[in-house]
Each structure stands twice: as C-alpha cells, then as structure tokens.
Structure 1
Amino acid sequence: MKTAGAAETAPRTESRPESRTAARPGLRERKKRRTRDALLRAALELFTTQGYERTTVDEIAEAVDVSQRTFFRYFPGKEEAAFAVQEMVEAHFVDSLRARPPGEAPLEALRRAVLEGWDTISDAVGSVVPVELYLRMFRVIESTPALLAEHLRRSAETEEQIARLLAEREGLDVDADPRPRLAVAVFGAVMRVTSRQWSTREGAGPQAMRELTAAYLDQVGPALTGNWRTSRRA
C-alpha cells in the first residue's frame, strides 16, 4: 500500500519544480523584450528628432534609464537599432509573399504581398513602435548618407532572399534560370523609386505609400514594353 501511495503522489511532486522552472524563462524573456523595445523606441525618437549622427549610445541608454552596457546587450551599435524596425517590416513582407497562392504569377505575387504588407503594417511594427515613428525613421534613413548606403546593402541581401523564394515557388534553380533575379531586380527598382518619391512628400503616411506603390507597380508593364512616344501623343 505504501508503494502504491508513493507512486500516486510522485508525479505531482516532480511536476511542481518543472512548472516553476518553465515559468521563469517566460518572465525573463518578457522583461528582456520590454527593455529592448524601450531602447528601440528611444533610439528612433532621438534619431528622428536630433539626427542619427548626433545621437550617442549614452543618450539612448539614459532615455531608458539603463547603462550603456545594457544597450550593447541588445544591439551591437546604433546602426542595428536604426534598422531593427525596417528588418521587421521586410520580414513581414517576406512572410506575406511566402503565403501567396502558388498559382499567382511572380510579379503579381510580389505586388499583392507588398500591398498587403502596407495594409497590415501595424501588425508588423505596432507592438514595438508606432507606425508614424517607423515612417519618420524611414525618412531619416533616406536622408542620411551612411544609413542609405547600408540600407542599399541590406536591400540587396533581401532581394536575393526574395529571388530564391520566387524560384522555389516556381520550381526553378535560381542559379540556372535568371528570371527570379530579374523579376526581383525590377521590383526592387520600383520600390526604390517609390521610396524616394514618398520621402519627399512632407507628412505623407502609410496610405500614401501604399497608393504610390500600387500606381508605380501598375506602370511596370507599360514602361518596359510600351512605346512612350505613341502613348504620349495619345
């Protein structure tokens, strides 16, 4: 009887430490996430109000009331903080593209994924920073030579990722068939033109970016294959 009783109570005794152990990492992770998000918001606010190059790591840390060492625990440097939200937006777009129906043509899938990304931009960044702050930071990136150069480098890496995803969708070898990279090169160029034009419009928000993106993407076919002089006379 004693043996049976011990067997009945053993599982409850063993499960309690496991439950407590499982709860602790969750709490720690939430605290770490809150600290990281606070540092990120503070960094973007400072970058957009006083300029990226004028902002120091010490100022960012001081704004959150943590040490410089704590900042470097979450970000290797200012640059990584400047691009953290942009990386979230790009990941959101890639996820949207991956979820597109397999029967869609490549450029149509890209078009729908990017427009869906703007429709759901708050889902991508809203829990970390306001969309308005992300857009202000985007303008800072566009107007800061060092950040713009890094943005172009990162964009090239993202475009390669997208090209490989398109090739996988279409059952192609991205290194043997040039079409995925060519399609993404055209798409990426349109995104660059759109970004530059949008950034010059003072006060333009996400809806303006979405509308501009749609309008420019709709012009890809006519721009590449149409007779410009004929269309101008018409």
Structure 2
Amino acid sequence: MGLRERKKEKTRLAILDAAVDLFLEQGYESTTVEQIAGAVEISPRTFFRYFTSKDHLVLWFHEHGEEIMLEALADRPGDEPPFTSLMHAMRAVVADVESSTPADAERFLKLRKLLDGHPHLVGLSVARGAETERRLAEVIADRRGVDPDVDQLTHLIVAFAMSTMRVGFECPRREGTMSEVMHRMTETIELTERSLRPGWDLQH
C-alpha cells in the first residue's frame, strides 16, 4: 500500500471510528452525516468520498470480509472441491481478524454492539450478507462450469459455507471477546468439515 492509499485508509478508519462512537453515545438515528464529518474535521462532501451513507459505515466489515473471501477463492486451485475452497476462504477471514490490531478489535466489537441494539441494522446486515452470497455463488458456479441462475447445488454450497461463518461469529456468545470469536469461528469451521461427507459438493 502506497503513501496515498495509507492516508486514505487512515481517513476512512477515522470516519468509521468517529461514527460508531457517536452512534453508541447518542443513538444511530440521532446522528447525522454532518456530525460525523465534523468529528473528524472534514466536510460532508469528503465523507461521501469514503462512504455512501450511514448504513454503509455499519456494513464496512461485510465489505472487508467479502473482499478477503473473493481474493482467497481466486488463489485456490481450479480443481479443488468448491466447499473446500470456501472453507479456506473462511479461514482467510479468521486469519485477517486474528492479525488485527487492538484498534481493529475494538472497532469490530463496537460495531457488533451497535447491531445488537438496532434490529433495523441487523436487517441491513442480513441483506448485505445475501449480496455476498450471490457474488460467491457466481464464482463457485464458474469454477464448477454451471449456470448460477439455474444450479441449486452451487447456492447450497455457498449457503452452507456462509452459515458456518454466521454461526461462528454470532452464537453462542459468552465472554464477547475477540479471542472467543476467533476460537468459536475456528471450531465451527472444523465442525462443519466433520459433518459433511467428502465429495458431497462434486455432484452435477
């Protein structure tokens, strides 16, 4: 990452951190884009260079995770079973979170707390996850040589993989720490792999 890109990323994270703190302090609905921009001393116009809306801020981790999974899939062998490739993509997300800084971890936990208190945002999160599933299905269908618009197995493969991530990240919760989240995610991936018969995803 070059100097320009690092500066842009620093600004993006500053906006995100200021927004999440404001959301938690005074409520999501009560916080305006103008207030967020003012907290980091930028104009609202500059805000919109980085995020399209307040909702976009909350869904930032979805975007980041999707990017990691798509990059990981692109690096997997073309003849690898598709579900195996997706599990490697899941592990790439886990590895990214494990390598995060304390600031990254705090950001993640704050966003999680924000979602817990706002059913509206949970709905947006689910919808954004569905977008990711569609993109992953297109990649998996291409690897399998099938049409994603008609092949049900492709979507089932992706749905099983994304369910693994959802269960690993969301439940059951105990301590609410990043180490717990990562342990639970790794444990869920291993449980999924043990539960499915090898080759189930190779049918046509």
1:43 aligns with 2:15: no
Q: Which deviations, in whole Å up to 9, do the C-alpha atoms of 1:72-128 show, x marking residues without a partner? A: 3433321112222431122112211221223332222211211122112377x76xx
* CA deviation profile, 1:140-185 (whole Å, cap 9, x unmatched): 2244211110111111111011111111122222233221101112
Following TM superposition, by how much is the alpha carbon of 1:223 offset from its aligned partner in structure 2, in angstroms?
5.8
Question: Which amino acid letter does the alignment assign opposite residue 210 of structure 1?
Answer: M
Distance 1:215 1:73 in 2: 39
**TM-superposed deviation, 1:27:** 8.2
Residue 154 of structure 1 corresponds to 128
Counterpart residue identity of residue 143, structure 2: R
Do the aligned partners of residues 165 and 142 (structure 1) sit closer, same or farther apart at CA in structure 2, a change above 3 Å counting? farther
Q: Structure 1 residue 204 and structure 2 residue 180: aligned?
A: no
The 5 Å alignment of 1:16-165 reads: 34-121=10-97, 130-165=104-139
Hey, what does 2:169 align to over in structure 1? 195
TM-score in terms of structure 2 length? 0.77
Other-structure match for 2:142: 168
Query: Shift of residue 46 of structure 1?
Result: 2.7
RMSD: 3.0
Total equivalences in the alignment: 195
Give the gaps of 5 or more residues in structure 1: 1-25, 226-234
Q: Return the letter of the residue paired with 1:201.
A: R
Q: What does residue 191 of structure 2 align with? A: 219
Higher RCO by CA contacts (8 Å cutoff, separation 6 or greater): 2
Q: Secondary structure at the match of 2:59?
A: helix
Question: What's the % identity of the aligned pairs?
Answer: 36
Per-residue CA deviation, residues 35-83 of structure 1 (Å, 9 max, x unaligned), is 4342223213333455433433232122112233432343332111222
Q: Aligned pair in 2 of structure 1 residues 49, 111: CA closer, same or farther (>3 Å)? A: farther
Gaps of 5+ in 2: 198-204
Largest Rg, 1 or 2? 1
The DSSP-based 3-state class of the residue aligned with 1:130 is helix
